[in-house]
Chain A
Amino acid sequence: MTRDPKSLHYAESHEWVDVETSGGDSIATIGISSFAIEQLNDLVYMDLPEVGRSVSAGEEFGEVESVKAVSPLYSPVAGEIVEVHSELPDQLDSLNEDPYEFGWIIRVKLSAPAPETLMDYDAYCKQCAESG
């Protein structure tokens, strides 16, 4: 199964969110969009959080670095980090090629519904076009 970017939700800070419900829990898978990856250009380092940490919506949970700059990663949702894609920092080239499937960064068990301010694909594309 391939994750379809059109079916995801997006934060203004370019993270994507895919919420799935299983056994009563809502689990959000979080990554960064191909637009953001292209803008960052040449990723060199990623700093990831520990499993078990709680995050609030909009809280910084890690950072990604390109040749030129450091960019914080923000959690679009509130909850507990239940899984971290620990192989990702060693395979940042693959993140480039496959940001939506292999490129997932963390999974968060939601403690509150995903904020309504998250954008759908069309709204996010519009934001990207405007930010140029």
Chain B
Amino acid sequence: MNTADSLDSSLQTTPLHAWHRDAGAKLVPFAGYEMPLHYTGEPHLKGIVDEHKRCRESGVLFDVSHMGRLRFDGEQSGALLDHLLTRRVSDLPLGRTRYAMICNVDGGVLDDVLVSNVETPSGKRYHLLVVNASNRAKILKWLEPHLADFPTVTLTDRTELTAMIAVQGPRVLESVAKLFRFDPTRLKNYEARVTDQFGKPAIVSRTGYTGEDGLELVVRAEEAKRVWENVLLAGREAGLQPAGLGARDTLRLEAAMPLYGHELTDTVNPLEAGLSFAVNLMNGDGSGRSFIGDEALRSVAKENPQRQRIGLLPEGKRPAREGCDVLNSNGEKVGVVTSGGPSPTLGYPIAMALVDTTSLGEAPMQIDIRGTRVPALPTPLPFYKRTRKTSAS
């Protein structure tokens, strides 16, 4: 077996690809990129479960450079994004990040994104939109006609010029603090700023996709390896280790964070996905807000969603997987599992499902796991919630 030489030339690579390959990562295709699923062998952890647990216990690094990074310059960029996103962007204060959806006119989700308002050291303000790797081309195309309506806004696709590293876990902030000119613990959750990392600009945000405290860093592509190795070195005492997409998926599932293509698709609206917090139907002054999908979402909000994302705990050890039917106690299909697998933290299988709201309240449900009906108990989301230190800002 030699995954190191199996690079498929049709796949894109991140600036850290050679590092992953040399570290013995098991590389798999994901959203057009060849990415680490997990690492293998000393000095790394031995697989997905260990990487998952390390994140919950101390900390891990993920290469998330495959995610799309789109920069919007120009005074009207907030107004453009206001029109495209389910959340207000023009009133987003400098240094803040918001989670939002891009919807079609029917309210179906085209992508879930993070938008930040940041300022370069020279005082230039811009908006950074982080989109899913699998949706980047689609979103760029979706943006085209709207950009034409805002000729003063400049869009730059920064994805290939930069790298993105997620550092996640309870001991991450103490470990990496020394790498920056400012104390990253001063960032509150969902705050971002452009800072200096050994003389080179880096965007640091207190965000993540694991349910743990942590940071996400955007650095120039040519700086990626240096920053990655510096973070590993700074976190050596705390036990920071690299982790792959396998652990990233089990971590986000425990934290009940949606994954595009699973919980979210263009036929699921944000309200049934349980993401009403990421939809601003009103402006700051209470007037109705106008954005793509607003009418559809307003009527869903008025009549209540017909489906809802729920958590399910299948009985026994066998995980329910995406696509398994969810049945009510009469054996009638009421929904489908959107993500499911074993929970390394809890030690039993967990699943998220999209089900008809009429089926709610009657417990327990059943999941059809490849022909076997397994009782499944509806449970509140998330499955895992970290205990916050009272001293944390």
Closest to B316 in A: A45
A89 and B370 alpha carbons, distance in the complex (Å): 18
* Interface pair B1/A131, CB less than 8 Å apart: yes
Residues of chain A with a CB closer than 8 A to B246's CB? 41, 67-68
Residues of chain A with a CB closer than 8 A to B317's CB? 44-45, 89
A40 and B26 alpha carbons, distance in the complex (Å): 11
* Interface pair B49/A132, CB less than 8 Å apart: no
Interface centre among A35, A47, A68 (most CB of B within 10 A): A68
Q: Is A129 an interface residue (CB 8 A)?
A: yes
Closest to B27 in A: A132
Q: Is B48 an interface residue (CB 8 A)?
A: yes
Residues of chain A with a CB closer than 8 A to B49's CB? 42, 67
Interface centre among A39, A44, A70 (most CB of B within 10 A): A44
Q: What secondary structure prevails in chain A residues at the interface with B?
A: mixed
Q: Is A80 an interface residue (CB 8 A)?
A: no
Q: Is B21 an interface residue (CB 8 A)?
A: no
A132 and B34 alpha carbons, distance in the complex (Å): 15
* Interface pair B344/A67, CB less than 8 Å apart: yes
Interface string of A111-132 (1 = CB under 8 A from B): 0000000000000000011011
Scan residues 38-96 of chain B and give those whose CB is less than 8 A from a CB of chain A: 38, 47-49
- Kindly identify which residue among B2, B6, B48, B318 contacts A67, using a CB–CB cutoff of 8 Å: B48
* Interface pair A41/B319, CB less than 8 Å apart: no
Residues of chain B with a CB closer than 8 A to A68's CB? 37, 48, 246, 249, 341
A15 and B374 alpha carbons, distance in the complex (Å): 28
Scan residues 13-52 of chain A and give those whose CB is less than 8 A from a CB of chain B: 35, 39, 41-42, 44-45, 47
* Interface pair B319/A65, CB less than 8 Å apart: yes
* Interface pair A70/B6, CB less than 8 Å apart: no
Q: How far is the CB of B118 from chain A (nearest CB, A)?
A: 35
- Kindly identify which residue among A39, A45, A67, A70 contacts B250, using a CB–CB cutoff of 8 Å: A67
A39 and B48 alpha carbons, distance in the complex (Å): 12
Interface string of A95-123 (1 = CB under 8 A from B): 00000000000000000000000000000
A63 and B2 alpha carbons, distance in the complex (Å): 26
Q: How far is the CB of A62 from chain B (nearest CB, A)?
A: 12
Scan residues 167-224 of chain B and give those whose CB is less than 8 A from a CB of chain A: none
* Interface pair B1/A41, CB less than 8 Å apart: no
Interface string of B338-354 (1 = CB under 8 A from A): 00011010000100000
Residues of chain A with a CB closer than 8 A to B321's CB? 70
Given A70-B321, A128-B1, A132-B1, do A44 and B342 touch, yes or no (CB 8 Å)?
yes
Q: Is B3 an interface residue (CB 8 A)?
A: yes
A41 and B37 alpha carbons, distance in the complex (Å): 10
Q: How far is the CB of B312 from chain A (nearest CB, A)?
A: 16
Residues of chain A with a CB closer than 8 A to B362's CB? none
Q: Is B144 an interface residue (CB 8 A)?
A: no
* Interface pair A45/B319, CB less than 8 Å apart: yes
Residues of chain B with a CB closer than 8 A to A131's CB? 1
- Kindly identify which residue among B1, B6, B48, B341 contacts A35, using a CB–CB cutoff of 8 Å: B1
Q: How far is the CB of B29 from chain A (nearest CB, A)?
A: 13
Residues of chain B with a CB closer than 8 A to A35's CB? 1
A89 and B2 alpha carbons, distance in the complex (Å): 29
- Kindly identify which residue among B48, B318, B341 contacts A47, using a CB–CB cutoff of 8 Å: B318
* Interface pair A65/B318, CB less than 8 Å apart: yes
Closest to A128 in B: B1
- Kindly identify which residue among B2, B48, B249 contacts A132, using a CB–CB cutoff of 8 Å: B2
Residues of chain A with a CB closer than 8 A to B47's CB? 41-42, 67
Residues of chain A with a CB closer than 8 A to B1's CB? 35, 39, 128-129, 131-132
* Interface pair B2/A41, CB less than 8 Å apart: no
* Interface pair B342/A67, CB less than 8 Å apart: yes
A65 and B319 alpha carbons, distance in the complex (Å): 8
Residues of chain B with a CB closer than 8 A to A89's CB? 317
* Interface pair A41/B342, CB less than 8 Å apart: no
A-B contact pairs, 13 of them (CB 8 A): A41-B26, A41-B48, A41-B246, A42-B49, A44-B349, A65-B318, A67-B47, A67-B49, A67-B246, A67-B250, A70-B321, A129-B2, A132-B3
Q: Which 5 A-B pairs have the closest CB atoms?
A: A44-B342, A41-B47, A42-B49, A132-B6, A67-B48
A residues near B, CB below 8 A?
A: 35, 39, 41-42, 44-45, 47, 65, 67-68, 70, 89, 128-129, 131-132
12 further contact pairs, Cβ within 8 A, besides A44-B319, A67-B246, A132-B6: A41-B26, A41-B47, A42-B48, A45-B318, A45-B319, A67-B49, A67-B342, A68-B249, A70-B321, A70-B370, A128-B1, A129-B1
